[in-house]
Amino acid sequence: MRFRGRALLFGFVIAVMAVPGIALLIPRFLVLNTLGLFDTYTGMILPMLVGAGGIFMMKQFFESIPREVEEAARVDGAGVFRTFWSVVLPMARPALITLTILSFQGSWNEFTHFLVATQSAQYETPTTGLARFVSGGLGSGTQYPLKLAAALLSTLPVAVLFFCFQRYFVRGANAGAVKE
């Protein structure tokens, strides 16, 4: 959608992407602590839901959809929401699945956020648990088979998710949408 301040908002998203994640650890902890979300599931999940990279990716995808498709839906009597829901969103399925897989992988492999957002062992994630496991009793010895088995088990869910949805990576988004 075209609206006033669109370029400024996009510039803000790009600026957020330019800030290294490590520079936001202390502010993230302070915000979570101030809002009472420290050491809760909400504090673990809420900051991971939306990222500037995902917004950028979806914006670029939606801009690749031809205007003629939206105009054809408007001519047929569809409103803005109906056009988005019935025409544009089904075309965006490959991008949404790609974003879902990348977001899941990023959240699954995230270490620093969960290190800052939680303290008790009750909220331990596979990444923080693996780090404790390797640096704890296994850190002093050379028990590489156990370390590698733990790393493999933590990798399996992301690999299974990718292989289940890999066919969506190669499909074209708007193949055949507009007749030339």
- The tens place of each residue's pLDDT in the chain, 180 residues long, gives 778 998 999 899 889 889 998 898 999 999 999 999 999 999 999 988 888 889 899 999 998 888 898 888 889 988 889 998 998 999 988 889 888 888 888 888 899 999 899 988 898 888 888 888 777 755 566 677 887 888 888 889 888 888 887 776 655 545 545 555
Q: Which two tokens stand for residue 64?
A: 């690749």
Residues 74, 70: Cα–Cα separation, whole Å = 6
Residues 12, 15: Cα–Cα separation, whole Å = 5
**Cβ atoms of residues 126 and 108 within 8 Å:** yes
Candidates 145, 113, 143; CA nearest to 127 is 113
Report H helices in 6-111: 6-18, 25-34, 41-45, 52-64, 67-75, 80-83, 89-91, 93-109
Residues 6-170, CATH architecture: Orthogonal Bundle (1.10)
**Cβ atoms of residues 116 and 22 within 8 Å:** no
pLDDT of res. 180: 55
